[in-house]
Chains A and B, each alone.
Chain A
Amino acid sequence: GIQVEQSPPDLILQEGANSTLRCNFSDSVNNLQWFHQNPWGQLINLFYIPSGTKQNGRLSATTVATERYSLLYISSSQTTDSGVYFCAVGRLGGGNKLTFGTGTQLKVEL
């Protein structure tokens, strides 16, 4: 099956700093989503971005499908950005099954 790798595994930032999270995948995909998992376990949708670039406030994402990677940018980080960020991918023929990476644990400190 498709492999998804995320980096870095852990990240500690000072409030106000910027960061880039990376997601590499091993095969072509038709679906790519970024999630933020809050401390209570809920996965919050950040971006549905199988290709191209999107922005939502302080967050933006870029997926280069031909090179099999996606980037999530967090600018002017806040303590509320802390948590685990997951990238998940899906392929045609797999229904809407998502394969998740192992996540990036982000901690934003004052």
Chain B
Amino acid sequence: ETGVTQSPTHLIKTRGQQVTLRCSSQSGHNTVSWYQQALGQGPQFIFQYYREEENGRGNFPPRFSGLQFPNYSSELNVNALELDDSALYLCASSQQGITEAFFGQGTRLTVV
């Protein structure tokens, strides 16, 4: 059974650029959620995808968008990067409903 994998592990971007982060869900899981973790804080929910559609969104602007593919993998896209977007981005996979979520190792994004 494969776990949740994210790529890349580290990324440096310039303010105003766009970035795409990727996540492969754990085998047997159909739901992917994305979280942003700023330094010294707990992860904050960005959005969730189920059956290739957004299924819940946190308090993040529209320049944060995502996709889910038929194999349940997912992308997080952030446009017009700002310095405050620098954070650890975590992907979690689970089965739909109230079930245990498992996280990837994260992508550390630095915006300069």
Contact = CB atoms under 8 A, between A and B. Distances in A.
Interface residues on B, range: 20 to 34
Nearest to B103: A43
A31 to B, nearest CB: 5
A30 B98 contact: yes
Contacts of B42: 4, 86, 88, 100-103
Contact of B100 (A41, A48, A92, A99): A48
Contacts of B35: 98, 100
Interface residues of A, number: 26
Given A42-B103, A42-B104, A45-B100, A97 B43 contact: no
Interface stretch (B13-21, B64-72, B86-94): B86-94
Contact of A96 (B43, B48, B90, B108): B48
Given A31-B98, A43-B90, A102-B41, A97 B33 contact: yes
Contacts of A33: 100-101
